[in-house]
Structure 1
Amino acid sequence: MKLNSDGLKPIYVQISEWLENEIISGNFETDQKVYSQYQLAEMFTINPATAAKGLNILADENILYKKRGLGMFVTENAQEIILSKRKSQTLKRLVFETVHEANTLNVSEEELLQMIKNAIKGVGK
């Protein structure tokens, strides 16, 4: 993965989201050690403090836990926490933005719902 240093998202947030994706996809399982701040810094050519900030976000959200002197590990409910967070934050924001844009374009509720149904059918293919 390449980080977007020109984007609106801070690099440490991109690091935490990348690690979340790795956990969701099963690349890191419960109680498995994740990359250290130094490994992440080397992988993405960033400052170790930036990488640590990304790891600490996940620790603060109980997605990762620290073992003193050993590093960060995946919590038992990490996948559920990530999925719940993304549903309640990311998905709601996207739906709100979509509905707002539909209103701006005078798209009816029925038309918008049909677009969503078509998109669902398209994703299932």
Structure 2
Amino acid sequence: MHFDFDGTTPLYLQVAEQIEEAILSGTYDAGEQVPSTTAISREFHINPATVLKGMNILVDRKVLEKRRGMGMFVLDGARERVTFNRRTDFFEQQVSPLVEAAKQIGLTEAELAALIERGYGIK
């Protein structure tokens, strides 16, 4: 895990993002325990309440589950939920504004698709 203490993204969101990244990369699979709030807070010198806030976001998103007295575990289907959420965010934050900007300068759907294909190196 790596945290940007000087950046604009709150640490609790960085905690959630880092755990999601670990799930996407296969570091933590369904059923596996993630590091405890205490372990993360000690290793990275982050307030335990901040770490817990980030983990609770993932509990709310049905990515992690709390097991009383045992810790936090990755839920079945967590990787798919994280992927779905990231794709949704990508559409809302990147694609939708791109389409609006393309419309403003008069690009057709075909012209925009051609530019995207060019970006992928297809043509």
**What CA distance in whole angstroms lies between the structure 1 residues aligned with 2:2 and 2:26?**
20
Query: Is 1:108 the equivalent of 2:107?
Result: yes
Range moving further from structure 2, 84-93 or 53-62: 84-93
**What CA distance in whole angstroms lies between the structure 1 residues aligned with 2:106 and 2:7?**
30
Runs of 4+ in 1 over 4 A off after TM superposition: none
Query: Is 1:87 the equivalent of 2:87?
Result: yes
Q: How many residues align?
A: 121
Q: Percent identity?
A: 35
**What CA distance in whole angstroms lies between the structure 2 residues aligned with 1:7 and 1:35?**
23
Task: Give the CA RMSD over aligned residues.
Answer: 1.9
Query: Is 1:28 the equivalent of 2:28?
Result: yes
Cα–Cα, structure 1 residues 63 and 44, in superposed 2: closer, same or farther, change >3 Å? same
Amino acid aligned to 2:77: N
Residue in 1 aligned with 2:16? 16
> In the TM superposition, what is the alpha-carbon distance from 1:9 to its structure 2 partner?
2.0
Amino acid aligned to 1:34: V
**What CA distance in whole angstroms lies between the structure 2 residues aligned with 1:69 and 1:44?**
23
Give the secondary structure class of the aligned counterpart of 2:28.
Answer: coil
Give the secondary structure class of the aligned counterpart of 1:41.
Answer: helix
Uncovered stretches (5+) of structure 2, i.e. residues with no partner: none
Residue in 1 aligned with 2:53? 53
Uncovered stretches (5+) of structure 1, i.e. residues with no partner: none
Give the secondary structure class of the aligned counterpart of 1:4.
Answer: coil
Residue in 2 aligned with 1:62? 62
Range moving further from structure 2, 39-48 or 9-18: 39-48
Give the secondary structure class of the aligned counterpart of 1:50.
Answer: helix
**What CA distance in whole angstroms lies between the structure 2 residues aligned with 1:13 and 1:78?**
17
Amino acid aligned to 2:107: S
**What CA distance in whole angstroms lies between the structure 2 residues aligned with 1:7 and 1:97?**
24
